[in-house]
Structure 1
Amino acid sequence: MKNKLVLISLFILPIAIYLVFSTASHNSLFLPTISKNNQEIPSDWSSLDGTKQAMKGKITVLGFVGTEVITNRGNFFNLNQKIYNKYKGFKDFQMIMVVPSGKEKECQQIIDELDPITGDMSGWKFVFSTPEKIQEFYDSYKLNGQLDDNKGTPAVIIVDKELNHRGRNGKNRKGENEYKESYNTISAADLHNEMTDDIKIILREYRLALKKNKNERKDAFRDNIKENIEKQK
């Protein structure tokens, strides 16, 4: 019994303390789900490089740019510097911006402007469709916010690998109720202080799940070998 207590104090307790102090401001090891099983990017929407874009299997920052692409270039810069540059190294992380058709050249200009200060822009994706279809797609998420007359908004949302909309919905560290469905790209502080924290949590979720699956496979493999050895005896 004494040895077990020693092991707990040496190994388990420090890990538990680390997890507590590494949580986000909403005091959660997991980022709450706002809505489940949302709509995928329609297969008939075009992209800058002509390839089909999808969110399934990726952690996606989803945005709706509208027609004023160049006018709102500062929003792209904020999002690029505060979010994309921090997480572009994760192969399952991407940014998908929804834009009305006809604005392809302006979007390519944004890519060209960001490329010298970013390097790898492969995670920045732009998809194009009609204003009507964009509105329908946006409405399917049942957000509190609204698109403006140009079919754009400065707000972006986080969509996980299973097409679930993720955000804040519960009590924060102060014990106050908190609900946050989107992040304002106009506000560098909002991106730096809250969105960065939330993406960090969701990435950690998947890392922990991957580690758990690997451990379970190792245990199953070990048990299978043990079983075969015992059968041979």
Structure 2
Amino acid sequence: MKKTTVLVVLFIFPLVAYLFFASGVNNFGRLPILTEKVNDLPQSPDSVKLDGQITILGFLGNKIEQRKGNVFNLNQKIYKRFNGFKDLQFVMVAPEGSEENVQALKKELGSFTDTQNWKFVYSTPSEIKELFESLQTNLNLDDSLFTPYVFIIDKERNLRGRNDDEDEGVKYGFNTSSVADLNNKMEDDVKIILAEYRLALKKNNADSSQ
């Protein structure tokens, strides 16, 4: 009896768990589209665009020094976990004139992180507001053009999120002031959208080889 119990724990339970989670990815592995076709980014010297990329989009505002904690939280909990995945970029939008402060922030990040996939885009206040409003969320930018929330944008420029969140109902973004929100919700949702595109790529490759 004891040997049977050990075998179940070591072999059968992990197999059942794997099949359960594998079926979950296949059946429930799409992150809902909350807003279609948000605005693309303002023109930048580095030609950073939303089209064709999975983007974590944030709005830094012009008080960069006060927002370092938010960026560092996102960096530690999400960026380091997923940096290196193809077609995934982290984009922070900041007002024109904040370039020097942003570069100082990026340099500080670079002391403990590979910042290759951190992208910073500068624009006018009106363009920043237009971009944010195109997300069509229930959130707001503050007077400095900052929000602690970041957003998942897919390759077709659709805002992805949750339409049945247990706490918020419709969850448009993830609060970088809350480590719990990043750990418990955003990490899961980023996994889902990456898996969605990987599965689509595998299917396309399989179809093209037939």
Among candidates 60, 63, 70, match of residue 65 of structure 1: 60
User: What SS does structure 1 have at the residue aligned with 2:169?
Assistant: strand
Partner residue in 2 for 1:124: 118
CA distance in 2, matches of 1:216, 1:18: 25
Aligned partner letter, 2:20: I
Identity across the alignment (%): 45
Structure 1 spans left out of the alignment, 5+ residues: 1-12, 220-233
Among candidates 89, 94, 101, match of residue 106 of structure 1: 101
Aligned partner letter, 1:18: F
TM-score, with length taken from structure 1:
0.78
Kept after mapping to 1: 8 A contact 2:41/2:49: yes
Deviation by residue 1:83-127 (Cα, 9 ceiling, x = unmatched) = 100111112111111101110011111111111211x21110111
Partner residue in 2 for 1:194: 185
Among candidates 69, 72, 89, match of residue 74 of structure 1: 69
Among candidates 185, 199, 206, match of residue 208 of structure 1: 199
Partner residue in 1 for 2:32: 32
Partner residue in 1 for 2:10: none
Aligned partner letter, 1:167: G
Among candidates 132, 149, 152, match of residue 155 of structure 1: 149
Deviation at 1:28, TM superposition (A): 3.0
Deviation at 1:209, TM superposition (A): 0.3
Asked if 1:179 is matched to 2:179, the reply is: no
Partner residue in 2 for 1:56: 51
Aligned-residue RMSD, C-alpha = 2.1
Cα pair distance change 1:16/1:216, threshold 3 Å? farther
Aligned partner letter, 2:160: R
Partner residue in 2 for 1:18: 21
Deviation by residue 1:101-156 (Cα, 9 ceiling, x = unmatched) = 110011111111111211x2111011111112211221122111011001111111
User: What SS does structure 2 have at the residue aligned with 1:71?
Assistant: helix
CA distance in 2, matches of 1:133, 1:213: 37
User: What SS does structure 2 have at the residue aligned with 1:125?
Assistant: strand
CA distance in 2, matches of 1:42, 1:198: 26
Deviation at 1:171, TM superposition (A): 6.7
Deviation at 1:18, TM superposition (A): 3.3
Cα pair distance change 1:211/1:22, threshold 3 Å? closer
Deviation at 1:71, TM superposition (A): 1.0
CA distance in 2, matches of 1:191, 1:177: 15
Partner residue in 1 for 2:88: 93
